[in-house]
Amino acid sequence: MPGEFIQQKNAFESIQLKFTMKIKSLFCWIIAIAAGFPVNRLYAQKSNASVSIEKFGAKKDLGEDATEAVKNALLYIKQNKINKLVFPKGRYDFYPDQAAEKYIFTSNNDESLKRIIFLLSGFNNVEIDGQGASFIFHGYVSPFIIENSTGITLKNFSIDWERTFHSEGKIISVDNDGMELSFSEKFPYKIENGILVFRDNNKVEYPYGSLLEFDPVKHETAYMASDYYFGHGQAAKEISPGTVRLLAPGIKGTPGNVMVFNALKRLCSAITVADSRDLLFDSLNIYHCGGMGIVAQRSRDMEINHLTVTRSPGTGRVLSITADATHFVNCGGKLLIQNSLFENQMDDAANIHGIYVQVTKKFSATKVEVQLKHEQQLGFDFIRPGSKLELVHNTDMETYDTVTVKNVNRINKEYTQVTFTKPLPAQLVIGKDVLAAIDNYPEVTIRNCIIQKNRARGMLIGSRGKVLIENNTFHTSGAAILFEGDGSYWFEQAGVRDVTLRNNLFDNCNYGVWGNAVIQIGSGVQKEYRNISRYNRNIKIYNNIFNVFDPRLLNGYSVKGLSFSNNTINISEAYPNKFPGAKRFDLTDCADLKIDGL
Amino acid sequence: MPGEFIQQKNAFESIQLKFTMKIKSLFCWIIAIAAGFPVNRLYAQKSNASVSIEKFGAKKDLGEDATEAVKNALLYIKQNKINKLVFPKGRYDFYPDQAAEKYIFTSNNDESLKRIIFLLSGFNNVEIDGQGASFIFHGYVSPFIIENSTGITLKNFSIDWERTFHSEGKIISVDNDGMELSFSEKFPYKIENGILVFRDNNKVEYPYGSLLEFDPVKHETAYMASDYYFGHGQAAKEISPGTVRLLAPGIKGTPGNVMVFNALKRLCSAITVADSRDLLFDSLNIYHCGGMGIVAQRSRDMEINHLTVTRSPGTGRVLSITADATHFVNCGGKLLIQNSLFENQMDDAANIHGIYVQVTKKFSATKVEVQLKHEQQLGFDFIRPGSKLELVHNTDMETYDTVTVKNVNRINKEYTQVTFTKPLPAQLVIGKDVLAAIDNYPEVTIRNCIIQKNRARGMLIGSRGKVLIENNTFHTSGAAILFEGDGSYWFEQAGVRDVTLRNNLFDNCNYGVWGNAVIQIGSGVQKEYRNISRYNRNIKIYNNIFNVFDPRLLNGYSVKGLSFSNNTINISEAYPNKFPGAKRFDLTDCADLKIDGL
């Protein structure tokens, strides 16, 4: 049934595991304790002062809107310094009508005036325990926004939506002029002026921005399927109720597969965190949202444990959530992700990076104007008095100087004027060079996770802190691990300094179009600068198992310090090998390589 | 040339005038003085403390962005208590990049995070004198937003845009499957996934929401042309560069005429006023904007003098602005509009009304929840402690009780909880009844204006204050004067109490589809309640000239006190008479009628 809470281990049974979760979990704690990871610190906010949502009038399983009860409960908790809000197990529904309202900018998401159900703004030491509850959301709402808070725990509940932000249609036939699809009543639509429009039963619309083919038997993106992007919807006509012909010459697909019309915008991420610290997300199931599962910005010290991102049980959907499972921007402290399942979502399982702004004007030796360049970064105000920033040419992407911020004058969500404590160097190139923060990088541990069957990559690792990725299983359509970062297109700061990948199973990854190897060390270093740039550094890959159906295992450039040792490589026939002549290790413009078998 | 400042009298020469402007103007002053209208009070803010925009670095005629100069000038004016900002005559350009940013809710417009060029927030006694300058705006910007200010004068400049928010295409041919249009390079477009998309040369998009045919010879909407609404754009294909076939079976139009694709949203009105008083708009030319010319809400005491809304000279456009020329919501005090020209805009010349909210929940005898219902009214917060409100059934629309507000708790832009000083009456119908403010109604004078060749009506008169409309010339495609108001669809409070229409020329109005008579006294009073409701009262119509090509002169219901006397009616053949059997006076469910010739 939609939104029913399922146990973590049931979801995990969908893939063959080498260890049982219990052994994995035990192993993880041993490692954690051995590594001196302060696992207990995160649980310190637990308290005996507890209150039930029932006290505020919420009743489970009746379909009533529990939003006002949540608002009153949060107010009560804040005023009375209560530490715990409990939901008796059951279904709770949340609608936009009574929700709080705030204009929210979240990096890599779409800004908007949002309706927020759980708005935790300025909260300290609060745990929300769903006790196995399922939270069902309706329409354009943001379930959780946590900002300027410390010591927040969310645990034991699931998040799902009554009507998804994306829509799914089964391919009936394909020809030169387009494709015929059938839609179930779960994805109401209309043809307006010759254009396919998705909506719900209350005529609320669900615009789409891209189309991707999924294999509903394997529950993954179809082999080598590409995204088909829409600017403004798709010309179409209705053949009969529920059957639609897309007027899209050249579109490809296999009858029986499912086409996913993904949400145009990322407006309703499940859990958004900003400017907060000491957070624990434990035993959460995110079955759907119109954005990311957990996205955190300018925050530090976070643990994600037993998070399940998967398609909603019993609904027949092929997609879980419409963007990344987790995403961290300009975060610091310790970031631990463990014992989690990330599958069927429309983008990466984890993406960790900073943000570059472009220097667009120079007012004086110490004062410049900078611009946030990517549309989904607008309003990401990370430059504050005292911030330490690196100066970078967008050609080689290497830090050529560091500066300290004295004053900041925000013009609007796009432009900011910044004054520094010292004159800027002569080599500053206006309109090209970028700046990024270097105060904080998270120390990342990702372990005992399963990452599979989603669109795009497993993990984008862009932290300059210590990164350990171990005991995970990857079966991703793109690269399992991608190192990225550029100052020309996405404007995402990356460039690792110390990464260990060990004891992972890379199980037939890269069966889609979103990678050129299982492990891909790319970046936006421009071609003619790759021989001088060492943007990514010190990557150790050992004791992993690679099941591969094509040769492309490791691709990289501009790396200093890369070792690949004691890994097991098994040749598989899981998918057709479309790259028979390709190199297993395609490494150029690198230094200090130690590659077994190269 | 686009944006060139033209003299008011030149624009006026486009219609045959009975009096010269000088005589009209003289006449107006005599009337004003005779009526004791405090014309001098509005000019009291004039001062000798003046500063030129040049002081802040703005240079005319160079195409440079003058936005930052304006921001700095406004800051300087506020800090130094300067009363006048002067622009040496010339062209000034304004771009979004350096503009201030604020989320703005304006009634009958579309809410958004706006980029604002002249943000006058909390200003007192300031005059901005363009001295004949032309202000050219680029992209999604709001030229003027005046809020919480007193004594503001804007004078002697024109407003235009480099790329319009609407687009215009000339009809080449029409057949059963659609229509072929040609677009000039001023309206760049693209076909994306089979859908027509308008944009500018920087790929900024200009979505459209409706299509209307204009006669480029008569410079007005084509005879009896109807709006053709788009939910999400129109399926189309390109025949050759600049020539597009709309795939719109059944669409009608005459080759040689121009189809206007109107802006989907009203995001960039030229001048927006909120919570302000004592305002003068003098000798302004508004050639274009993506919304209304002047829109004011919750404000009082305003004069508009020598305002010209017309199509931009030299551009060949058929449309001026994309919505109403002027619009006043919940305003009070004295409202004077005189010596002005309103033509070629996409909606009414003037619309004056209040707002009804629906009562959606009853918490106690004194506390209810109310909802702003229309999408373009969201965030219109007019209920404040001490506000006097009327209670109205949405059936007969008559006031059945009045209440005073004690407390207000805003939930979000849609819902507000309101507590009153006394228990609400028993006849309150939850989910049906509406509330509106009765503290303020403007005393309206509209004189010596020309209102012509726009889509829809001349004036929607919904003030319960004294209204005088005299010495105007109307040649409107819909009703010249419409009395409206309803609590079920638009939720606009109206219901006049004392209106005089005298000495006007109604010159072949109602040649389009937006009216059922030259003067139309309608409302949302439900059919079975019209015989008991007297929603509009005391309307006197005398000494006017009506040139009419069909019989439908006066239509009304639920009116008490209506006189029509000493008017001249001339039968014309200006347009085909499609209603030969219709009544001249179609009045039902009225009381106290005095109609010459009935």
Q: Do A235 and B230 touch (CB under 8 A)?
A: no
The alpha carbon of residue B462 is apart from the nearest alpha carbon of chain A, in Å, by: 30
pLDDT digits (tens, 9 = 90+) for B505-563: 999 999 999 999 999 999 999 999 999 999 999 999 999 999 999 999 999 999 999 99
| pLDDT exceeds 80 at position B10 | no
Closest C-alpha among B331, B556, B373, B560 to residue B463: B331
Q: Which distant-in-sequence residues (6+ apart) come within 8 Å of B79 by Cβ?
A: none
Closest C-alpha among A521, A541, A531 to residue A597: A541
Q: Do B100 and A412 touch (CB under 8 A)?
A: yes
The alpha carbon of residue B59 is apart from the nearest alpha carbon of chain A, in Å, by: 18
Low-confidence ranges of chain A (pLDDT < 70): 1-48
Cβ-Cβ contacts under 8 Å, A192 against chain B: 230-232
The alpha carbon of residue A70 is apart from the nearest alpha carbon of chain B, in Å, by: 13
Q: Do A412 and B230 touch (CB under 8 A)?
A: no
| pLDDT exceeds 70 at position B482 | yes
Is residue B141 within 8 Å of residue B116, measured between CB atoms?
Answer: yes
pLDDT digits (tens, 9 = 90+) for A257-313: 999 999 999 999 999 999 999 999 999 999 999 999 999 999 999 999 999 999 999
The alpha carbon of residue A231 is apart from the nearest alpha carbon of chain B, in Å, by: 6
| pLDDT exceeds 50 at position B16 | no
- How far is CA A518 from each of CA A254, A446, A458, A571, B541, rounded to the nearest angstrom? 26, 17, 10, 13, 82
Provide the number of CB pairs (under 8 Å) joining chain A to chain B: 85
| pLDDT exceeds 60 at position B275 | yes
- pLDDT-derived band at B21 (thresholds 50, 70, 90) equals very low
- pLDDT-derived band at B48 (thresholds 50, 70, 90) equals low
Q: Which pLDDT value is given to residue B22? A: 41
The alpha carbon of residue A408 is apart from the nearest alpha carbon of chain B, in Å, by: 15
| Residue tagged 């003067």 (tokens) | B519
Q: Is A73 helix (H, G, I), strand (E, B) or coil?
A: helix
Q: Does A204 touch chain B (CB under 8 A)?
A: no
Give me the mean pLDDT over the B283-288 stretch: 98
| pLDDT exceeds 70 at position B474 | yes
| Residue tagged 């893939």 (tokens) | A15
Pairing relationship of beta strands A91-94 and A142-147 according to DSSP bridges: unpaired
The alpha carbon of residue B75 is apart from the nearest alpha carbon of chain A, in Å, by: 14
Q: Which pLDDT value is given to residue A7? A: 39
pLDDT digits (tens, 9 = 90+) for B361-417: 999 999 999 999 999 999 999 999 999 999 999 999 999 999 999 999 999 999 999
| pLDDT exceeds 60 at position B17 | no
| pLDDT exceeds 50 at position B4 | no
Q: Is B293 helix (H, G, I), strand (E, B) or coil?
A: coil
| pLDDT exceeds 90 at position B40 | no
Q: Which pLDDT value is given to residue B182? A: 98
Distance separating alpha carbons of residues A597 and B565, to the nearest angstrom = 103
Q: Do A235 and B247 touch (CB under 8 A)?
A: yes
Cβ-Cβ contacts under 8 Å, B412 against chain A: 98-101, 115
Q: Which residue of B has its CA nearest to A229?
A: B193
> How far apart are the two ends of chain A, measured CA to CA in Å?
51
Q: Do B247 and A234 touch (CB under 8 A)?
A: no
Closest C-alpha among B488, B473, B566, B490 to residue B529: B488
Closest C-alpha among B472, B477, B473, B482 to residue B454: B477
Beta pairing partners, A313: none
ipTM over 0.95: no
Alpha carbons within 13 angstroms on the beta-carbon side of residue B207 total 13
* Residue among A232, A247, A411 whose CB faces B192 most closely: A232
Q: Do B101 and A413 touch (CB under 8 A)?
A: yes
Q: Which pLDDT value is given to residue A230? A: 85
Q: Does B193 touch chain A (CB under 8 A)?
A: yes
Q: Which residue of A has its CA nearest to B372?
A: A97
pLDDT digits (tens, 9 = 90+) for B66-80: 999 999 999 999 999
pLDDT digits (tens, 9 = 90+) for A41-98: 444 444 568 999 999 999 999 999 999 999 999 999 999 999 999 999 999 999 999 9
Mutation to test the B interface, candidates A116, A232, A375, most B Cβ within 10 Å: A232
Distance separating alpha carbons of residues A587 and A520, to the nearest angstrom = 10
Its pTM stands at: 0.92
Q: Which pLDDT value is given to residue A48? A: 62
Is residue A530 within 8 Å of residue A589, measured between CB atoms?
Answer: yes
- How far is CA B14 from each of CA A14, B285, B311, B323, B399, rounded to the nearest angstrom? 76, 15, 12, 22, 45
Cβ-Cβ contacts under 8 Å, B100 against chain A: 412
